[in-house]
A and B are shown apart, each in its own frame.
Chain A
Amino acid sequence: MIPRLLYLPASIGLALLVLPLAGLLLKVDWPALPALLLSPEALQPLGLSLATASVSTVLCLVLGVPLAVVIARSKPRVAGLLRALVTVPLVLPPLVGGIALLSLLGRGGVLGNTLELAGLRIPFTTAAVVIAQTFVALPFLVIAVEGALRTAGVRYERVAATLGAGRGTVFARITLPLVAPGLLAGTVLSFARALGEFGATALFAGNQAGVTRTMPLAIYTAFNGSGVTTDQAVALSLLLIAVAVIILVLVGTRRASVLS
């Protein structure tokens, strides 16, 4: 059924996605790998990345699910406007996001000045890492959940209401379970996006070991060879790939068990 001509670009596309990863595997200095991965230079950023990405994902859920509900249940014109606003950070280069966050929360920023008077400084702290990650990851969650909500529609919710269920009960026992697959997909996407976040973090949070140096920043630092070899960068990249694969496998089996 498929025109044969399509196989050529399809193969090139797949090669473009897979070959670089294969190349990376070939460059790994396997005998030296355990030492490289167990070094503090590797473990510290990994721990920071997992911690900040987890907090960001929780924030995405707490803020994103309600936002998705509001958008999905708004009148079309309002929903369209809100959806556009949510999508902007998604299409924005993360570096621009970093500058925007600095402009708002940094020294001299609109909110930054107020916070500073209150004794709070956000840029170049771990909190800044979390804010930057949430900023770039939130749209993924909102869009996934909002799509699921619109697909599910309001018919089940209306039936639940005619049975006597209040809005809170309907939301917890009908709406959320109905959009569970979308919620799961959105959560995974935002966690992955938070884990890989580099540009906004670099500008807004900086690159201080143990405070704001997450995995992507550690890889960049190692690659630029400030004291370490590119072997370290390759090893750290391998670690990030491994984490991504583990997440995908976990989600895959979970989804399979939900479906069966």
Chain B
Amino acid sequence: MTPALWKSAANALLEANLQLTRGSFSLDVQLTLAPGEVLALLGPNGSGKSTVLDLLAGLATLDGGTVTIDGAILTAPGRFVAPERRAIGLLGQDPLLFPHLSARANVAFALRVGEARLTADQARKEADRWLDRVGLHDLGDSKPGALSGGQQQRVALARALAAGPRVLLLDEPMAALDAETAPFIRQLIREQLAETGTSAIIVTHDIVDAVVLADRVAVLHDGALVDEGTTASVLAAPRNPFVAALAGVNLVVGSVQNGAVVAPDGRIFHVRPADAAALATTSSILPASVSSAPRARTGSEQNVPAAAVFRPASVVVQTEQPRHASPRNVWSARVTGIEPGSGGVRLRTSGDPEVIAELTPAAVADLGLQLGSTVWLSVKATEVSAYRR
């Protein structure tokens, strides 16, 4: 249990205390969400993540507990506010666009029945503005069947936000998209959540979702929260095997400088060229089909938060300073820990954040490494992916 989550409710937008038993599965979760905050809910399959979202949205009923939003009770013993009166939106991995309605009519539907309660005419015009925001200006007349998966998900995002939800629940929204489309949708979600100031809870399997989208991470396991904190702190010191496996990466949360990521201790991490280009723009670059003028600008990238991610196996450990000047990140550090890892030996090294290198036991012996040894570490820039936050 994490009572810390429950007591930090001073200015919470959403407070939930959820209890549910279904057969051998039981759920007991306390959550809060501050206004404008994005919380990532991580956890393995069957841990109850989607159930938590259903309970919050009013699509499933609790055995016990309460859900309040802005102090108003949505769920409590003897009280249940219907989903359509909660203003809690849901965007899943399946866009679920109404197949008989055009993209515009899908968004207009949300504007008519949602918080805005617009007339048909107003809703149509406003829907076009929303489609513009998600880069689908030209496709308002298209039926969902004529749109690609990524385009459908963009319409679904516009529709979900157009309803004016006080909290948006995202249930693995990138899971059904291909690897090329997912980053664009992720950036779009990040931008639109920020622009609309929408509070959100995102359920995900993907560490990148948490890194890019979330301010805070909560880890669900077997129906209970087992860890909670800022994204960086939870991933840096995982207290749960699932997160450790998920976070089996080096994560450098810092800021953008000249297309690279600067760590809190000043180390500069050069990243692979494609990501460097993405870092250098202040807005996500939407695919070529987008008609609206690109809003990307360069030059104002300082202090833009970003994260660099690389695998421990990509870190090369040497005892001498490497001579070659290929595009590598090279630095020296002290060995602060030597532990068994999934792929050999995990070497913890000093710095903020600490970097983990993975190497074979033979290599550790060859290099004569021990606690306190000074080593030179290097990572090829092409092994480092980066995300704006």
Point out residues on A near B: beta carbons under 8 Å: 155-156, 158-167, 169-170, 173-174, 177-178, 180
Contacts and interface: CB of A to CB of B under 8 A. Distances in A.
A170 B159 CA distance: 15
A132 to B, nearest CB: 36
Interface in B74-97: 82-90, 94, 96
Contacts of A162: 57, 59, 83-84, 86, 88-90, 160, 163, 165
A163 B96 contact: no
B23 interface: no
Given A163-B163, A164-B114, A169-B113, A155 B90 contact: no
A180 B163 contact: no
A178 B100 CA distance: 7
B130 interface: no
B310 interface: no
Interface in B36-70: 57, 59
Contacts of A165: 84, 109, 113
B241 interface: no
Interface of B: 57, 59, 82-90, 94, 96, 98-100, 109-110, 113-115, 159-160, 163, 165
Contact of A164 (B94, B98, B99, B115): B115
Contacts of A155: 94, 96
A158 B84 contact: no
Contacts of A161: 59, 82-84
B99 A163 contact: no
A156 B57 CA distance: 15
B160 A163 contact: yes
A158 B160 CA distance: 13
B83 A166 contact: no
A221 B127 CA distance: 63
Nearest to A167: B84
Contacts of B159: 163
A154 B89 CA distance: 16
Contact of B84 (A156, A166, A180): A166
Contacts of A164: 84-85, 87, 110, 113-115, 163
A155 B114 CA distance: 18
Given A155-B96, A156-B96, A158-B59, A163 B110 contact: yes
Contacts of A167: 84
Contacts of A174: 98
Nearest to B115: A164
A16 to B, nearest CB: 39
Contacts of A170: 84
Contact of B114 (A159, A163, A177, A178): A163
A169 B113 CA distance: 8
Contact of A177 (B82, B100, B163): B100
Most buried by B among A161, A169, A173, A177: A161
A163 to B, nearest CB: 4
A158 B54 CA distance: 10
Contact of A166 (B88, B98, B109, B113): B113
A110 B272 CA distance: 85
Contacts of B96: 155-156, 159
A169 B82 CA distance: 14
A178 B88 CA distance: 24
B316 to A, nearest CB: 49
A177 B87 CA distance: 25
A226 B85 CA distance: 68
Contact of A160 (B94, B109, B115): B109
Nearest to A170: B84
B99 A178 contact: yes
Nearest to A180: B100
A156 B98 CA distance: 7
B273 to A, nearest CB: 40
B120 to A, nearest CB: 12
Q: Which 9 A-B pairs have the closest CB atoms?
A: A165-B113, A161-B83, A164-B114, A163-B163, A177-B100, A162-B90, A163-B110, A164-B113, A161-B84
A69 to B, nearest CB: 18
A173 B59 contact: no
A163 B109 contact: yes
A156 B163 CA distance: 15
A165 B90 CA distance: 13
A174 to B, nearest CB: 6
A180 B160 CA distance: 25
A158 B90 CA distance: 9
B82 A173 contact: no
A163 B127 CA distance: 14
28 contacts: A155-B94, A156-B96, A158-B59, A158-B83, A159-B96, A160-B98, A160-B109, A161-B84, A162-B59, A162-B83, A162-B89, A162-B160, A162-B163, A162-B165, A163-B84, A163-B109, A164-B85, A164-B87, A165-B113, A166-B84, A166-B113, A169-B113, A170-B84, A177-B98, A177-B100, A178-B98, A178-B100, A180-B100
